[in-house]
Amino acid sequence: DAGITQSPRHKVTETGTPVTLRCHQTENHRYMYWYRQDPGHGLRLIHYSYGVKDTDKGEVSDGYSVSRSKTEDFLLTLESATSSQTSVYFCAISGGAESSYNEQFFGPGTRLTVL
Amino acid sequence: AQTVTQSQPEMSVQEAETVTLSCTYDTSENNYYLFWYKQPPSRQMILVIRQEAYKQQNATENRFSVNFQKAAKSFSLKISDSQLGDTAMYFCAFVNAGKSTFGDGTTLTVKP
């Protein structure tokens, strides 16, 4: 799993509340990504980071923000959660010393339920 | 924008048999990577095999091999001697400049 952890692993919250998911890596990879996975779909990119304080939007970024203040941590925030954001969220990393930055390693996922 | 299509939502195979999962993609890029990931019920995304577009030789990893047809934009996965542990969802992914596009997956069931 390339030293990637996600917290929390499960969360149930109510519509309108803020939620922050954390991705932590111990591999010193430069790139970090947040994806969501919904039934019948593959992973869809929400946001990614190509360095500390450098982030960009993916294909499904509306309603989400991210921050990366240090190499190890990439935070995903839902400012006001909606039921449509119920999903499984995956963090990924790439760009380590011994791997191509095109090869991504994934965390275990976080199941988020918004009631 | 890139698109990845996996046309087989579900497949099944008998244990010890061979199965091929299909994947096609659309891109105007010339340099890119292609990957197959396995996702068992545990949800963990596991890399199965990778292919660099500039390499003509098809990648192999033990029982897993690919048929990469760059001109046809096709990237199929062949699993030989299927095992019960191969039961999972399989995703094809296109990667260029660090950004990935995934197909919607194929659920593979290996039957005893």
Is the pLDDT at A33 greater than 90? The verdict is yes
Best CA proximity match to A58, nearest among A25, A23, A31? A31
Q: Average pLDDT of A8-35? A: 95
Could you list the residue range(s) of the whole structural domain that residue B95 is in? 3-111
pLDDT tens, A45-87?
999 999 898 999 998 999 999 999 999 999 999 999 999 999 9
Could you list the residue range(s) of the whole structural domain that residue A107 is in? 4-114
Confidence (pLDDT) at A2: 56
Share of chain B above pLDDT 70, in %: 100
How many helices and strands in chain B, by DSSP H and E? 0, 12
| Angstroms from B97 CA to nearest CA on chain A | 7
**Could you say which DSSP state residue A115 is in?**
-
Whether B102 and A44 lie within 8 Å, measured CB to CB: yes
Confidence (pLDDT) at A54: 92
pLDDT tens, B6-32?
999 999 999 999 999 999 999 999 889
Contact of B29 with chain A, judged by CB distance below 8 Å, is answered with no
- CATH number for the domain spanning B16: value is 2.60.40.10
Per the structure, the count of domains in chain A is 1
pLDDT tens, B28-42?
998 899 999 999 999
Whether B43 and A41 lie within 8 Å, measured CB to CB: no
Give A22-85 as a DSSP string.
EEEESS--SEEEEEEE-TT--EEEEEEEEETTEEEE-TT-TTEEEEEEETTEEEEEESS--GGG
Best CA proximity match to A41, nearest among B72, B39, B29? B39
| Angstroms from A55 CA to nearest CA on chain B | 13
Return the amino acid letter for A17. T
What average pLDDT does the structure give for chain B? 94
Is the pLDDT at A97 greater than 80? The verdict is no
pLDDT tens, B69-87?
999 999 999 999 999 999 9
Q: Return d(Cα A75, Cα B90) in angstroms, integer.
A: 27
Distance (Å) of CA B82 to CA B1, B15, B67, B90: 35, 5, 17, 14
Contact of A89 with chain B, judged by CB distance below 8 Å, is answered with no
Encoded tokens for B107: 């659920």
Suggest the residue from B5, B29, B100, B106 to mutate for an interface test with chain A (most A CBs closer than 10 A): B100
Residue A90: which pLDDT band, with cuts at 50, 70 and 90?
Answer: very high
Per the structure, the count of domains in chain B is 1
| Angstroms from B60 CA to nearest CA on chain A | 17
- CATH number for the domain spanning A53: value is 2.60.40.10
Q: How many whole angstroms from its chain centre is CA B74?
A: 10
